[in-house]
Structure 1
């Protein structure tokens, strides 16, 4: 049996993992990891070695915003600047 949560469960969860964000947004894992490391995605982490938990609604909205800005031709540094202004 798979340990993965169903999309129905993920879709109503307050917090999700990066792997679940991949499933929710269709983004690549490496892309989301990069955004996280660049400080573009909000997350909580209890301790250094524990899984990062992302607030689902806020993070999905942020990923959508980043994708839209990329579509409009903004570079990552430009996107980061815009996100910090919000």
Structure 2
């Protein structure tokens, strides 16, 4: 197992792991995994057995958008629809 990167290093990194994103965002691991599986939190993964990598800035921005939609009372399905409509 690799050594855990310091928060200072994570805050400067272009890509982060899901565990590092948990530390940056304050969201639970299970929540971020669910968002990833639902397709509303994009990640990169070169091969099926490799770690998912999240672009730090865009992932944090997306989490902020999701939180705003949740505060409006939208369901995950409604949030997914809004985010997909926004991409088109």
Match of 2:4 in 1: 4
Quote the RMSD (CA, aligned, Å): 1.1
Q: Output aligned runs, 1:1-80, within 5 Å.
A: 3-80=3-80
User: Take 1:72 and 1:84, find their aligned partners in 2: how far apart are those partners?
Assistant: 18
Unmatched tracts of structure 2, length 5 or more: none
CA deviation digits over 1:19-76, x for unaligned, max 9? 0010000000000000000001111101000000001100110011101110110100
TM-score (norm 2): 0.93
Question: Segments of 4+ in structure 1 off by > 6 A?
Answer: none
State the aligned residue count.
Answer: 85
Q: Distance in 2 between matches of 1:64 and 1:22?
A: 13
